[in-house]
Structure 1
Amino acid sequence: MAFAASLAKLQAEASCPICLDHLRDPVTIACGHNFCPSCIHQRWESLQGTFPCPVCLHHCPDRSLKRNTQLCYMTEIVQQIPTSGSQRKLQEEIPLCGKHNEVLTLFCEKDLELLCSQCRFSSDHQDQPLIPIEEAAASHRRMLKRHIGALTNNLKSAKTVYKNQVANTWRVKRMMEKWRKELEFECKELKCFLEIEPDEIDNYLLIEEKDVEEKLIENGRQISYHMFRLNNLLCEIEEKCLQTDLDLLTGIERIHNSYGNLETPAVFSCELKKESYNLPPNYLGLHKMIRTFQVDLTLDPETAHPSLIISSDRKSVTYRTPEGLPDPQALTAYPAVLSSEGFDAGRHFWVVNIGGTGECLLGVCKESVSSDTLISPSPSNGYWQYQQKNEVFRLFCTGQRKIGVFLDYELGEVTFYNLNNRSYLGGFSYTFTEKLVPYFSIAPSSESLTISIIRVK
């Protein structure tokens, strides 16, 4: 196949670019291309001044032609070589100009069109940039190679994007499955709550009803006895008024004493408190509350107790006993750290992840409170934490636990949530009058416990 192609090229070189037949008594022009004398004379017949080469468009200064004897002998040899079917096919496949039936040797850069040398003189392509096919092919080959590089990079980027989208698809599936399980868990909790809460309210109402009924009955007895005494005293006085003077004054002291010592029994007030059926706060929009009011907090190292180690990103705190310090139990300052951010208005929600084993305290405090206060934090000295049964709540953790803290400054409320099961832990109300700062504390005995400020979706 390679030999046949080479042979076809040799025969093409021995052919006239104008008539496409074997060169007959070939002549060479100034640029070095070869033609049949009759063909080149016919091409230049009507031209004056300059004579362009039909192949490369080189302007020859005159019509001078030089006979190429060696090429004439080579053409005669080529004509004697038998032409096989495949060679004839290759020759037949050489593209020709549709208008002039000549070999396509030129390329128009403006129209991006292949042309023959005759097309150059057409009105459609006058004054247009025409270059030889070899030069145009080399230029466009370089351009295509640049396209290959750009397309390769684009394909690589597209593959990366596609890979990420596939990963996002699986991430969305996993997230939806997680949310589906959470919703199922919350529905079960809500169902259990709906089954238990009415019974508790009914029991409470029965007890309240019995207590009020007993108090009303006893109060009724007291009033009935008081009515009996009033009626007897009234009859006795009316009878006394009808007696003679001597009889009226006899024993009058006892009647006056009886009237003066009358005591009206107190009337029992049966104001009943209507018991309402309330859903737990986590079912009133906890997810929306997190999405709407969640804030990013960072810990303030300058407010940290010496025994607390703050991470480089200021998002985590761990208890460690520094060298050279006395025993933790002997420290007077409370082991706590404040947030760099504070709030004097609005609603704000932040989440902490508590890992390890130990005790910790979460809450807010006044900005004016000294970070090295010598007393345990409490509302009386400017600290508010999660309280349980009127005592400061110390959260004892094992493993991982997510706690959400919600501050409503204007309403004066701070509430706490267990985000592991979306449950409401509790809260407190207070009238805030100055800027509040989130507060985090770790008990001295909790060296394996870490508090991390995180962001949830």
Structure 2
Amino acid sequence: MAFAASLAQLQAEASCPICLDYLRDPVTIACGHNFCPSCIHQRWEDMTEIVQQSPTSGSQRKMQEEMPLCGKHREVLIRFCEKSLELLCPQCMGSLDPPDQPLVPIEEAAASQRGVLKRCMGVITEYLKNSVKVYEYQGANILAVKRKMNKWRNKLDYECNDLKYSLEIEYNEFDNDLLVEENNVEEKLIENGRQISYHMFRLSNRLSEIEEKCLQTDEDLLTGIESIHNSYEHRESPDIFSYKLEKEIFTLPPHYLGLHKMINTFQADLTLDPETAHPDLLISRNGKQATYWIPDGILNPQALSSYPAVLSSEGFDAGRHFWVVTIGVAGECSLGVCKESFPINTLISPSTSNGCWTHTFGPFSIPKEIGVFLDYELGEVSFYNLKTCSLLYGITATFRGKLMPYFSIVSSESLTTSIIRV
């Protein structure tokens, strides 16, 4: 009896409850019952037809109408493909190629994509902030260009002041060149600013679109999400225009340029030798400045019997050399070169006959900056007013032996003489 009961139970389990025949390719549903695939498929189709033909309430019909449908199959969208970034209906899911693409429920996909969009908002916000900074920076560059151009224009005015009549035509050309360069750079900066402004406008619109998207329902948010991703991934920022102005875009007359070229080519970095300095001359620690100073009006006995002078630590026995002397206040001074053996700070008067080639300046017409040029082989010592770029005086001689740059303050007043490198 027990065997017969077990056999009967086994036959029941191996039979399809719908066709009552033995199971063919059996499938098990969630409740644990077994069916033939064709039987259960047919039964579901019959039920679907019955449901479709049965009348629905107004609320149910409205809900069905509001649910998004597949544009291709007109069926309810039930899954989201994370690979193709689109909503799918059952028929779309059945035609996937490959069929194992990642599909997730709409609620889960919406939550995930909303997080992605919020991160995108953060990144775009940073891009927008950076664009604002660059825009403001380019605006500051325009002002910087104007300030630099004004500085150069003021420098041009100053240098051309003493050459006004002979340089009037050249000055107008220089000023026009500055204006053209200024306008050219300003136009480029303004145009670049427009591009950055338009880029900021696009970023702001994109940010607004994403903000509105995030507020939509899950289905609306996921609908068209691919286009937002594509526009975000293919964003391009405008190139930043970087300007570089020439140091000087104007030229000056040949004698002016010749002097500056001579200074730059033959400049000599001199230091004063305190061992050769007169007692009334104070030499700075760096050897660049000599000050004539009498404490409390007490004259040094040696000052009454000599010329307060000092020599440079450097000497020359060949070549061309240029150095600059800056005069601090009004007074007299003598500049030039002398033989290494010339006895300075004595009663012997400096002259060409005893090996000292100098020129005295002042007391009231002394330039603030005097350039001294030595051409040893040519036998010339020349003195220049650096403010007007003009020749003041020249000495011609035949040099032998080592020559030392010579500085003498011929005045009873305090006077500062600074030797500077040009």
Range class of TM-score, shorter chain? 0.3 to 0.5
Which TM-score applies when normalising by structure 2? 0.46
Which TM-score applies when normalising by structure 1? 0.43
Higher-Rg structure is 1
